[in-house]
């Protein structure tokens, strides 16, 4: 019988909700589930103490908003598993979790359809200037197409940085629209990239040839500011950049300058360096920019799948079984 004190926390807010129904189904007979509204930003020491009280006794945390730091872990001695609501685990100090015997899991691929579909939507929006046209018609009640002449995707080259489950799906979509696809992924061999439908390319080669560049890489020390001033200088003049992965992959100040100078034809960002972002960031004043509020995974199907997978792994760990999607090992 599970301990009466055992429980599992789900971090969720109105802006970053979690579908708790599949979590509760997964945890039935294992532990009750409670929601804790953890902010999606680094916490001060005083704030960590406050939220540690709210998380006291939790043996599992399904983490959407919030950061799991070494100092917070020290205040949560009962914690056994952190299941990240998504694939990226940069919100979690994985090394600190390993040192303290806390398993970390994620949900690789659960958001692949949702993110690849939104990315394609952003590519189309940049190519055809859809947001600008719709906004002008709605605001000014004017007609006429001259200001909104765009380009077609057929015959253009899409460059993918990362060809995991999202990049692989996007490759199929782009090929179906008549695009050529170049891909760079240090974690894959050339033949593996070819098997996914794309042509392997060196990073610099891809930058110089792609009409559209879409980022699908994890955030690591090596990929931080992967797209910086130097990378942008190697891109084709007028090329488009799309980022629905992690905000810090892009140097926002360098991108803002490139958009202002016309070096880059446009950019679509679903993620920013800081989340919530700095309202004074130069990126907000940059031209030819589409910003969406980290909504790539926000579909009913995606939220249900992620919550279910994460909940099932928490239940497995608390039941003495191995998780299906471990990030670390103990």
* Active-site residue list: 246, 275, 294
- Based on the number of CB atoms within 10 Å of its own CB, is 42 exposed (0-12), middle (13-18) or buried (19 or more)? exposed
Dist CA 97 CA 181 (whole Å): 39
Dist CA 11 CA 105 (whole Å): 15
Dist CA 74 CA 85 (whole Å): 22
Contacts of 241 (CB under 8 A, 6+ apart): 212, 213, 214, 215, 227, 235, 250, 255, 264, 266, 267, 268
Decide: 114 and 302 in contact? Cβ < 8 Å: yes
Decide: 93 and 73 in contact? Cβ < 8 Å: yes
Distances (CA, A) of 138 to 131, 141, 142, 268, 287: 11, 6, 8, 21, 19
């Amino acid at each position: 019988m599970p301990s009466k004190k055992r429980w599992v926390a789900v971090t969720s807010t109105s802006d970053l909700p979690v579908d708790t129904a599949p979590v509760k189904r997964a945890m039935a007979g294992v532990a009750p589930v409670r929601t804790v509204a953890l902010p999606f930003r680094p916490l001060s020491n005083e704030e960590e103490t406050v939220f540690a009280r709210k998380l006291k006794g939790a043996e599992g945390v399904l983490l959407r908003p919030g950061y799991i730091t070494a100092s917070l872990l020290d205040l949560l001695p009962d914690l056994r598993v952190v299941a990240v609501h998504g694939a990226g685990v940069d919100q979690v100090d994985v090394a600190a979790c390993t040192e303290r015997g806390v398993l970390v899991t994620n949900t690789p691929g659960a958001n692949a359809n949702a993110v690849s579909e939104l990315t394609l939507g952003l590519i189309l929006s940049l190519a055809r200037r859809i947001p600008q046209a719709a906004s002008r018609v709605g605001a000014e009640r004017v007609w006429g197409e001259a200001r909104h002449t765009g380009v077609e995707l057929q015959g253009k080259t899409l460059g993918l940085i990362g060809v995991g489950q999202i990049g692989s799906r996007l490759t199929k979509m782009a090929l179906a629209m008549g695009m050529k696809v170049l891909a760079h992924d240090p974690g894959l061999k050339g033949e593996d990239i070819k098997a996914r439908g794309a042509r392997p390319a060196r990073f610099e080669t891809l930058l110089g040839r792609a009409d559209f560049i879409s980022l699908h890489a994890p955030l690591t020390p090596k990929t931080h500011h992967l797209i910086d001033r130097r990378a942008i200088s190697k891109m084709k003049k007028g090329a488009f950049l799309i980022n629905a992965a992690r905000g810090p992959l892009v140097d926002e100040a360098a991108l803002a300058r490139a958009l202002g100078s016309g070096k880059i034809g446009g950019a679509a960002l679903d993620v920013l360096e800081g989340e919530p972002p700095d309202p004074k960031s130069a990126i907000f004043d940059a031209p030819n920019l589409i910003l969406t509020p980290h909504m790539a995974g926000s579909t009913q199907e995606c939220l249900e799948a992620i919550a279910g997978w994460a909940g099932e792994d928490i239940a497995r760990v608390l039941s003495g079984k191995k998780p299906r999607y471990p990030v670390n090992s103990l």
